Amino acid sequence: MTFADAAQAYRLAGKSTRFLDTLEAHWGDIRVMDITAGAIIAAANKIYPKAQNSTKNRHVIGPTQAVINHAAEMGLCNSIRVRRLKEAVKVKKPVTIEWLRAFMDQANPHLGALACFMFLTGARISEAIDVRWRDVDFEARRVLIRQSKISEERLAHMPAMLIVAMSNIQSNREPSEKVFKYSSRFTAEPQWQKAIERAGLEYLSFHCCRHGFATALLHKGVDPVTVAKLGGWASTQHVFKTYGHAMKDDRLTDIIVSDAI
């Protein structure tokens, strides 16, 4: 079996194809049995020579391993294990509820609702923009989010603040119509920057809303397993590794003697 064969099987199974084109161009008709862990790491360094290890892991090492192991599950080849490259841990700046309110005051209703949606559901910008009115159930306070990164769907709860923001932009909408009027992140970006400037806020990206979702929940004591489930992260380990700083509070040791005080 060649990598191209394995990639085709991966596509037919409905798996994420986000990085497949680049990988197929690199591996082509190389036999899967000839692809070693070392070769995969070498490929990551060759394809993205100047990129950070996190990019190499996400764009090459992880997907290549996933394609091969999917074929292995079908009994077409042997599975493979690849040690990820060590990543530098950086504290990501999150959107806060105060930042969000100030932003919404200066943004148009659609943009404000979009920011609110990402912050309160943890949706990525691509996922938020793809939401249709048929996916929204105001009565049940649920919205269907198609998770682009892991090719799955999840139902997210809509807090009252989000329901109000989305209700303000609902006017004779067709079920198939997008909730937010933007065709892509690139059409929303210019207005995003202008709203931030008008509000006099520090620039935070779309993805910082997702960071804010995770950070706020962890600050409130919600465990990483639940946060990963609510926000659509593939693994609890990723949440803990990326947002573990939000759980660090040396005052927690007071809990040990709280009943004795």
Q: How confident is the model at residue 253 (pLDDT cuts 50, 70, 90)?
A: low
Average pLDDT, the chain: 89
**Residue 35 DSSP label:** -
Closest CA to 27 of 43, 8, 16: 43
**Rounded to an integer, what distance in angstroms lies between the CA atom of residue 96 and that of residue 106?**
16
**Rounded to an integer, what distance in angstroms lies between the CA atom of residue 230 and that of residue 145?**
11
CATH class of 97-247: mainly alpha
Q: What is the pLDDT of residues 66-124, one digit of tens each?
A: 999 999 999 999 999 999 999 876 767 899 999 999 999 999 999 999 999 999 999 99
Query: From the CB of residue 181, how many other CB atoms can be counted at a distance below 10 Å?
Result: 16
Tell me: pLDDT of 177 over 50.
Answer: yes
Tell me: pLDDT of 44 over 60.
Answer: yes
**Which neighbouring-strand residues pair with 157?**
142
Query: From the CB of residue 68, how many other CB atoms can be counted at a distance below 10 Å?
Result: 26
Give the pairing type, strands 142-147 and 152-157. Answer: antiparallel
Answer whether 67's CB lies under 8 Å from 10's CB: yes
Tell me: pLDDT of 248 over 70.
Answer: no
What pLDDT is recorded for position 261? 43
By percentage, how much of the chain surpasses pLDDT 70? 91
Tell me: pLDDT of 212 over 90.
Answer: yes
Which comes out higher in pLDDT, residue 181 or 68?
68
Tell me: pLDDT of 255 over 70.
Answer: no
Q: Where are the domains of the chain?
A: 3-73, 97-247
Average pLDDT (12-35) is 93
Q: Of the ranges 68-72, 151-155, 182-186, which one carries the lowest mean pLDDT score?
A: 151-155
Integer CA distances (angstroms), 6 to 47, 64, 67, 72, 149, in order: 20, 10, 6, 9, 20
Q: What is the 3-state secondary structure (H, E, C) of 225-255?
A: HHHHHHHCCCCHHHHHHHHHHHHCCHHHHHH
Answer whether 150's CB lies under 8 Å from 232's CB: yes
Q: Of the ranges 29-43, 112-126, 201-215, 228-242, which one carries the lowest mean pLDDT score?
A: 228-242
Strand, coil or helix: 116: helix
**N-to-C CA span, the chain:** 67
**Rounded to an integer, what distance in angstroms lies between the CA atom of residue 156 and that of residue 178?**
17
**Rounded to an integer, what distance in angstroms lies between the CA atom of residue 15 and that of residue 70?**
9
